[in-house]
Amino acid sequence: MHDFVYMLRCFDGTYYVGITNNLERRIGDHQLGLDPSCYTFMRRPVLCVWSEAFKYVRDAIRCEKHLKGWSHNKKSALARGDWKLIKALSNDRHDDGGASTSSA
């Protein structure tokens, strides 16, 4: 069994990063709005724009925490698979992509 880190693009253009051991079920939960306290509840529909499987949950947790610290621009680049821009934004300590909350 694997653990997954995933990133959703919400209807309002923000991003949500999460972790799960059942990716299909968890994305469905977000779409259905099962948890009114969840960041995505009022931002549906959502689209999974990136995910990665991890053999060890500790590695998935580390990745999730790392991605949650990224700016909106960097998350957008990840969603597009633009590794060149991700690298450039990583080198630019003054990325003007706006502060990113843990979910946005």
Identify the CATH number of the domain in which residue 47 sits. Answer: 3.40.1440.10
The pLDDT score that the predictor gives to residue 42 is 98
Averaged pLDDT, 58-84? 98
Range of the structural domain that residue 32 is part of? 3-91
Averaged pLDDT, 62-82? 98
Averaged pLDDT, 47-56? 98
Q: Does the pLDDT of residue 99 top 50, yes or no?
A: no
Averaged pLDDT, 33-47? 97
The count of domains in the chain is 1
Task: Indicate the range of 6-10, 30-34, 39-43, 99-103 predicted with least confidence.
Answer: 99-103
- Give the pLDDT band (50/70/90) at residue 98: low
Q: What are phi and psi of 54, to 5 degrees?
A: -130, 140
User: Does residue 49 belong to any structural domain of this protein?
Assistant: yes
Interatomic CA distance for residues 14 and 102, integer angstroms: 11
The pLDDT score that the predictor gives to residue 37 is 97
User: Does residue 18 belong to any structural domain of this protein?
Assistant: yes
Buried b (16+ CB within 10 A) or exposed e, 10-48: beeebbbbbbbeebeebbeebeeeeeeebbbeebeebeb
